[in-house]
Amino acid sequence: MDNISVCVSFIAAILGIAYPILLEVISRLDEKYSSQIIVDLFSKERENKFFTFSLRVSLVSLLVWMLKLPPHIKIDGLNILIGKSSEYILIISTILLIVSFFYFVKKVLVYYTPTKYLPYIIERHLLLHTNKIIEKHNKKSEDNEFEFFRAIADVLYFSIKNQNEKISQTVSDFMYGAFKKVRDNIQNKEVVYPSTYYDLVYKTIEDLAFQKNKRLTFLEHRTAGSVWLLGEFGNTKVSEETYVWIWRNILLAIKYEREDYIIYHWETAYQYIRQSLDYIYPNYSNETFEITNQGEIDIRLSDRKRFLEFHYALGGLLLYKKHYNCLQRAFSYTQSIPPQYELLPDTMDEVFGLYFNFRDPYEMKHPWISSRYGFPDLGGLNSDGIIKQWICKYIALLFIRQYSIVPHLITMKPLNYPRIPTTQGEKRQWIDNLDYFKKLVEEVLNNKELLITTGLDFVADEWCEKYNQPKPIEFIEKVKQNVIDSFEGTEIEQPVSPTKVQRFRNTTASILKPIFEEYQIIDNEFELNGDLNKWYVNGRSNIIDKSGFAENQDAEHSNFDSFLPESFSNKYKDAISAIFVLASSASYLLNSQDIVPGISRLGIVSNDYAIVSFGINIQELIKNANNDSLKDFKIINFNHRNYHLVGDSLFVLKLKDLPKLNYKEPKSEEIEKYSLVKTIDEYNLYTTVVDLNLSPDLREEFAENSNGKDLRKSIYMAISMSLEVQWKKSIHCIQIKQASAYRERGIINNLSDIKAIVEKPSR
């Protein structure tokens, strides 16, 4: 057999027999590993590409040889070589095909043998993530960057399915290092893993949950136990993304009823809070004795609070799903002697603080809690309230658990009453919500199955009486009464805030002074003497709860400083407009189009008279009437008026007959009695804020009209002013009222009814 026959035989054998068999083997990679990514990676291998290329070249060279094409180039001495070039090319391509075939077969064996493929793919992943390779691939997507990682994950799923402990252990060790490398590369920041890492843990837990044997317990502990996500013996911060995925993992354990997975997590969390979230003790400056690491302390406390919050929500989830055995195991888990339970409260201060944190009736602390701690089979608008209810019920169980704590230190007092909050707002919250907590505790005490399983069934009235301990319900009632007493005592004893008093005075001045200045335009420039008509505008006062002027309240009274000056402002404006009505000598009711002609019929000289308008746009009426005779009048406009008495009116009177505004100084005994403080000098306006608890004389004076209210909890606040409005007697002050289609004000006058002003002869 010549060389060409041998080549043709090899090509035919590879193409007709070996290649189809190998293709069948490759097609089964997906079936073997259930992984499209592994199949895709194989298709990208150099051996596969080289073999495919060699096969194509061999077939082309064979075709060229079979065509027996004459050479187009002739070179003396090389014609024989050129004439046989197709044979040489065929031989060379066949040799390359055979070589590539062996490499191809070797690569197929690597992919098809998990014990060989796993080290190979791990090496490829590590090579990709060296510094030089990362620089070449830093613009690729995460899918390309972690394609080898996802292939390793698929091998892990394969090993779980086949219960291959050796492969699982190898992958587990690699993954442990991969997660640790991410944490080590992030210092003093929240650790956020690539999404591929989170998917790996979730899918691994789901695959393991189907298995009933315990061959892969080490893998369950690292995945469901959150070892990969939280780490061991490191000082890392848990990100919100990690919390979300751990909660999903726990829901997966709940779904498949794997309480052991939850306990694995609890054990890891216990170790994490002790090692990574231990308390940081303050360092003091030798010079200033100030704490130099307060920032670090605050951050650590915040991280601990977030971590513990997660596990209190977990307790609520376990109670909701009635996993009482799991709760019992969590309650008894410790790694220290004497026992310490890092994920559980030690004092009633902690228990009550937790309850009021999660009670949150106004959605201030945990809005949309279902998006953070979703419970199975819950949805809709009520889910947030139901989740909080179960977490609060778990806290009620923790309240009962306090009775089981055996103090091993003199400082341990698990049944001491909690400290009463300092602010009135917090006290009010306690008073309003302790009855609900009592109801939850009663429900827990009535759940005998829960108490027996958790070992808390001994907490009964007989036990409390025997050991002289407060009964649970009486304990809560006592706490509530203590808070009520403190709240009421504070309402009486709390001081008035000087800052808020000054704010009231400043606000009063800023509101009223511009108004007084606005109304100065009607003040007669001359002093009025003789027999005068006098009307008075006095101040305004009120008795209100002291909380509006005290610090540390449940809510800031938004208008504590402005409601009284605004009320007095309206009173002042109403009074001025009403006094003009009292001073008027004649009154006419006219339609709007008759007002300007009506003024003209009064027969007055514009230079001597003023028009004082309340609610009527007199300039617009003059413009529409095309009456130039009134344009020289002094026109004074006010928008505010006593609508019921004045309505929309204007008053026509002589300039010299305008009133005199006399802001009188209050009597000295009145200033002393009410502790008045001058607030606007120009107008002799005074203000006061008096704590009636400290003023028994005033309290006694106001007691008659207090309807039995305890005035010790109140303050007297006042704006004191004595405005004397002086008018000459027997003046001509003509009121013209504007008729309205929407309000009955009497019979409308005709223009003929209007009489000209007849001046009395001067004596």
Among all chains, which residue has been given the structure tokens 């009855």? 435
Residue type, 504: F
Provide the percentage of residues in the chain whose pLDDT is more than 70.
87
**Could you give phi then psi for residue 379, rounded to 5 degrees?**
-165, 170
Binning pLDDT at 50, 70 and 90, where does residue 127 land? Answer: confident
Q: Which regions of 156-255 does DSSP assign to beta strands (E)?
A: 190-191, 237-238
Query: Residues 424-439: pLDDT tens digits?
Result: 888 989 999 999 999 9
Q: Is residue 53 part of a domain?
A: yes
The residue behind tokens 């502990």 is: 221
Of residues 658 and 641, more confidence is placed in 658
Confidence at 138, pLDDT banded by 50, 70, 90: very low
Strand ranges (DSSP E) for 110-182? none
Model confidence at 77, in pLDDT bands (50, 70, 90)?
very low
Length of the chain, please? 763
| Alpha helices per DSSP H over 601-690 | 618-625, 668-673
Residue 471: strand, helix, or coil = coil
In this structure, is residue 641 part of a structural domain? yes
Residues contacting 709, CB < 8 A, separation 6+: none
Nearest to 390 by CA among 366, 361, 359, 367: 359
Query: Once rounded to an integer, what is the mean pLDDT over residues 613-635?
Result: 83
Bridge pairing between strands 660-664 and 634-638? unpaired
How far is Cα 185 from Cα 296, in angstroms, rounded to an integer? Answer: 20
Alpha-carbon distance 678 to 689, whole Å?
A: 12
Is 714 inside a domain boundary?
Answer: yes
Residues in CB range of 50: below 8 A, 6 or more apart: 100, 103, 104
Is residue 112 within 8 Å of 76, Cβ to Cβ?
no
pLDDT grade for 26, boundaries at 50, 70 and 90: low
* Residue 68 banded pLDDT, cuts 50, 70, 90: low
Residue 568 lies in a domain: yes
Mean pLDDT, the chain, rounded, equals 85
| Residue where the block lists tokens 């499209």 | 36
Looking at residue 35, its amino acid is S
Residue with tokens 């620089």, as numbered in its chain: 135
- Alpha carbons 196 and 438: distance in angstroms, whole number: 46
Of the listed ranges 89-93, 133-137, 685-689, the least confidently predicted one is 133-137
Residue 745 gets which letter from DSSP? -
Residue whose C-alpha is closest to residue 354's, from 310, 324, 319, 323: 310
Chain segment 531-573, per-residue pLDDT in tens: 899 999 999 999 998 888 888 776 667 788 999 999 999 999 9
Q: At how many degrees (to 10) do helices 19-33 and 85-112 cross?
A: 20
Q: Which domain holds residue 65?
A: 3-112
Out of 112, 147, 169, pick the residue that ends a domain.
Answer: 112
Non-local (6+) Cβ contacts of 613 within 8 A are 635, 636, 637, 638, 649, 650, 651
User: What is the secondary structure of 508-573 as a DSSP string?
Assistant: HHHHHHHHHHHHGGGS-SS---SSEEEEEEEEEEEEEEGGGGSSS-SS--TTTTTHHHHHHHHHHH
* 724 found inside a domain: yes
Q: Which residue has the higher pLDDT, 740 or 690?
A: 690
Range among 215-219, 405-409, 678-682, 757-761 rated most confident = 678-682
- All residues at 6 or more sequence positions from 345 whose CB lies less than 8 Å from its CB, including other chains: 351, 354, 398, 402
Q: At what angle do helices 36-43 and 147-161 cross, to 10 degrees?
A: 130
Domain limit, last residue, from 42, 77, 112: 112
Per-residue confidence band for 268, with pLDDT thresholds at 50, 70 and 90: very high
Q: Of 620, 622, 617, 610, which Cα lies nearest the Cα of 580?
A: 610
Residue 285 domain flag? no
DSSP single-letter state for residue 711: G
The one-character DSSP state at 656 is G
Confidence of residue 43 (pLDDT cuts 50, 70, 90): confident
CA distance 348 to 399: 7
Give the per-residue pLDDT at 162.
86
State yes or no: pLDDT of 397 exceeds 90: yes
516 pLDDT tier (thresholds 50, 70, 90): very high
334 located within any domain: no
- At how many degrees (to 10) do helices 165-184 and 195-209 cross? 150
Of the candidate ranges 54-68, 312-326, 346-360, the one whose mean pLDDT is the lowest: 54-68
Q: How far is CA 315 from CA 13, 308, 398, 556, in A?
A: 67, 11, 10, 35
- If one compares 286 and 680, the residue with the highest pLDDT of the two is 680
Contact 733, 583 (CB under 8 A): yes
* Lookup: tokens for 460: 């009964």
Number of domains into which the chain is organized: 2
Chain segment 581-622, per-residue pLDDT in tens = 999 999 999 998 888 899 888 888 778 889 999 989 888 888
Range name among 119-123, 398-402, 683-687 with the lowest pLDDT average: 119-123
Instruction: Kindly indicate the confidence band of residue 223, based on its pLDDT and cuts at 50, 70 and 90.
Output: very high
| Global confidence as pTM | 0.75
* pLDDT tops 60 at residue 13: no
- Give yes or no for a contact between 565 and 507, defined as CB atoms under 8 angstroms apart: yes
Per residue in 705-730, pLDDT tens?
878 888 999 999 999 999 999 999 98
pLDDT of residue 55: 67
Specify the pLDDT at position 80. Answer: 43
Q: Where would I find the H helices in 236-323?
A: 240-255, 259-275, 294-320
Question: In angstroms, rounded to a whole number, what is the distance separating the alpha carbons of residues 391 and 398?
Answer: 11
Bridge partners, 635 (sequence order): 611
Domain end: 60, 77, 112, which one?
Answer: 112
Q: What pLDDT digit, counting tens, does each position of 320-359 carry?
A: 999 999 999 999 999 888 889 999 999 999 999 999 999 9
Asked if residue 581 is part of any domain, the answer here is yes
Residue 136 pLDDT more than 70? no
Question: What residues does 726 pair with on adjacent strands?
Answer: 534, 660
Residue 90's pLDDT band (cuts 50, 70, 90):
low
